[in-house]
Amino acid sequence: MKELTHFIGGKHVKGTSGRFTDAYEPMTGDTVSKVPLASKEEVRAAVENAKAAQPGWAAVNPQRRARVFMKFLELAAKHNDELAEMLAREHGKTIPDAKGDIQRGIEVIEFCLGIPHLLKGEFTDSAGSNIDIYSMRQPLGVVAGITPFNFPAMIPLWKAGPAIACGNAFILKPSERDASVPLRLAELFLEAGLPPGIFNVVNGDKEAVDAILDDADIKAVGFVGSTPIAEYIYTRGCANGKRVQCFGGAKNHMVVMPDADMKQTVDALIGAGYGSAGERCMAISVAVPVGEDTANELIKHLIPRVESLKIGPSTDLAADYGPVVTKAALEKIKGYVDIGINEGAKLVVDGRGFKMQGYENGFYLGGCLFDNVTKDMRIYKEEIFGPVLSVLRAKTYNEALSLCNDHEYGNGVAIFTRDGDTARDFASKVQVGMVGVNLPIPVPLAYYTFGGWKRSGFGDLNQHGPDSIRFYTKTKTVTARWPSGIKEGANFSIPTMS
């Protein structure tokens, strides 16, 4: 069994706290590595390395920073298969899905190639008598990201890419469940020419998180995970004077109108509901058919599709999805299915008894499908984060819209319809951060911003796109007048442009 490290100052550093946690290979259930859990002192060592390296990196002009990113893209492409296999084995998602995870992170790095343009400020010539005004964007200094298990490549790159491109030094605290890929990404950035100390990886648990939140030299923190932890990090980070963005849980609805193309709708639901074993914050977990006829038709088509889902080990390229990340996650999901049955929902497909031949100790669960779910049930109100789809029937479009708007989460939502007026009305009125029209997982491309509303997101700025540049920089505005434009004598009134 291998022992993972931290990555500080451009070097692998063994953990010294004496605390470790096990990481598993979900498809077999085997323990594959021991992950060190950093102490406050180890986090501080990373901060000191980052703080020492950051001024030199900030002094590198944006075009040369972009060249480091270009080299990283070459290396990521060269090692794509290696990264995908590493990710799949440690997380449990299939290799094709792992490659999608990596690609979505790579697209943000591609966006960061435009950093010379993205960092341009504004300039006004002769804003007043012989006065020019201009603004500039400058890095914050040392910043940090705390990222989840379900996207061990994508979300670290979403956080690290813009932060580093803007001239900051970055400390990543990835999930301790699948830390190998983040460590490998740090190695590749170093190989691409990033100076030591600019991208650090510190593995850990709550002790490391609290050390990050309480360290005065860390100026900003980004987080993705569950809503209770997002709220905790946001509250504690802000109380310590940091800039904080936190993204939490989700309960994403798909509204199915009577005029929707049923075949396209079912294809979309199957992929979005069960892909990656449902372990996505943008997974569709609630289908809302409008009208009994629509609901009956939807259920009729869904049942055989869910029953025929191909579940396999992460290395099976033909599998629809693989195991969930840990045994604890598996038992939690099964527990939610039990809760749904006890609450009176109709379990029309039960995947709890699924066993993978040859992988009996793996963390597998067959697809589960509930019908007749109601909005007062826990399986509707809470995030399950597994291959469980709930169907909640709505009588009217307005009822379906209200369900989306009244839920405490507001991450993603979709509507399937052929009617442009309905789609436009829905997109305008739904109180959710990301909306799909005939598209089940509305994750924006890298040059737009990603972020949920309500209790799915805390903070004023979103991930990637222009918001990420604003989050990782501070704006300085300069008002300049040279001696030839200055009149003699003191002026005791507030300056105006009159």
**Of 89, 137, 495, whose CA–CA distance to 325 is shortest?**
89
Report pLDDT digits (tens) over 142-160.
999 999 999 999 999 999 9
Record the tokens describing residue 237, joined without a space. 């980070």
CATH architecture of the region 2-248+456-478: 3-Layer(aba) Sandwich (3.40)
Calculate the average pLDDT of the chain: 96
Report pLDDT digits (tens) over 156-169.
999 999 999 999 99
Q: Read off the pLDDT band of 485 (50, 70, 90).
A: low
> 252-437, what's its fold?
Aldehyde Dehydrogenase; Chain A, domain 2 (3.40.309)
Report pLDDT digits (tens) over 253-265.
999 999 999 999 9
Report pLDDT digits (tens) over 90-147.
999 999 999 999 999 999 999 999 999 999 999 999 888 889 999 999 999 999 999 9
How far is it, in rounded angstroms, from Cα 452 to Cα 401?
A: 17
* Active-site annotation holds for 281: yes
- pTM, whole model, 2 decimals? 0.94
Domain locations along the chain: 2-248+456-478, 252-437
Q: Is 269 helix (H, G, I), strand (E, B) or coil?
A: helix
Per residue in 180-212, is it b (16+ CB within 10 Å) or e — as a string?
bbbbbbbbbbbebebbebbbbbbbbeebbbbbb
Q: Which residue has the tokens 């490998």?
A: 184
How far is it, in rounded angstroms, from Cα 408 to Cα 249?
A: 10
How far is it, in rounded angstroms, from Cα 417 to Cα 404?
A: 16
The residue annotated as part of the active site, out of 112, 166, 246, 281, is 281
Element (H, E) at 121: none
Report pLDDT digits (tens) over 26-84.
999 999 999 999 999 999 999 999 999 999 999 999 999 999 999 999 999 999 999 99
